[in-house]
A and B are shown apart, each in its own frame.
Chain A
Amino acid sequence: AQKVTQAQTEISVVEKEDVTLDCVYETRDTTYYLFWYKQPPSGELVFLIRRNSFDEQNEISGRYSWNFQKSTSSFNFTITASQVVDSAVYFCALSELDSNYQLIWGAGTKLIIKP
């Protein structure tokens, strides 16, 4: 079965702390794609990153970094020196050929950054 698990329902940290959002996925395919999206209180889903299953290099973009490990089927997202503007719900998603045209979404992690 295709599944994406974001075990952390809600995380609350104080501004400037580092925070890691976990994402674990299940798939039988060897070719698949993983995504992270941010949904701020305004409601619009903002694309953050896309990673294919053959590229295990970690990626850094400013204060954001992603750690993709196929051995543990995880694609974790770290925010360094968090800011209040990072407060949002973050979704991890999986796509593969057999998922019938739909992204398989995690339940989301609500991140609260306190000033």
Chain B
Amino acid sequence: GAGVSQSPSNKVTEKGKDVELRCDPISGHTALYWYRQSLGQGLEFLIYFQGNSAPDKSGLPSDRFSAERTGGSVSTLTIQRTQQEDSAVYLCASSLGEFRNWYQETQYFGPGTRLLVL
């Protein structure tokens, strides 16, 4: 079946502009995660959704970052007033939600959105 998809694949924007990144999880997956990976670095957790709810938003780097999920499916990560340090690959993952606790789940990743802020 289809995996996690993300759009756009690449985004170049000017400093100060807003951007929206989209994630389509695997069909039927109830949990969704956003991560950020800067060049040559590890993964930085941003936010987790169970259904449409995000139990903890403390991973978002600043109040310029926001995320929402609608219909228990598609999620959008919005970055307002982008800064050069926001340049990174933004990865989305989803998991089935078959277990009682999130930490038992296997996360499946999308191809990422490469964001470059000039």
Contact = CB atoms under 8 A, between A and B. Distances in A.
Interface of A: 32-33, 35, 37, 42-47, 50, 52, 91, 95-97, 99-103, 105-108
A76 B89 CA distance: 27
A101 B106 contact: no
Contacts, number: 55
Given A102-B48, A106-B42, A97 B111 contact: no
Contacts of A45: 91, 93, 109
A103 B93 CA distance: 11
A44 B112 contact: yes
Nearest to B55: A101
Interface stretch (B17-25, B69-77, B97-105): B97-105
Contacts of B42: 91, 105-108
Interface residues of B, number: 24
Interface of B: 33, 42-43, 45, 48, 55-56, 58-59, 89, 91, 93, 101-104, 106-112, 114
Interface of A, helix, strand, loop or mixed by DSSP: loop
A35 B106 contact: yes
Contacts of B55: 101
Nearest to A6: B42
B102 to A, nearest CB: 6
Contact of A100 (B43, B56, B101, B104): B56
Contacts of A96: 103
A102 B108 contact: no
The list of the 3 closest CB pairs from A to B, nearest first, reads: A102-B45, A45-B109, A101-B48
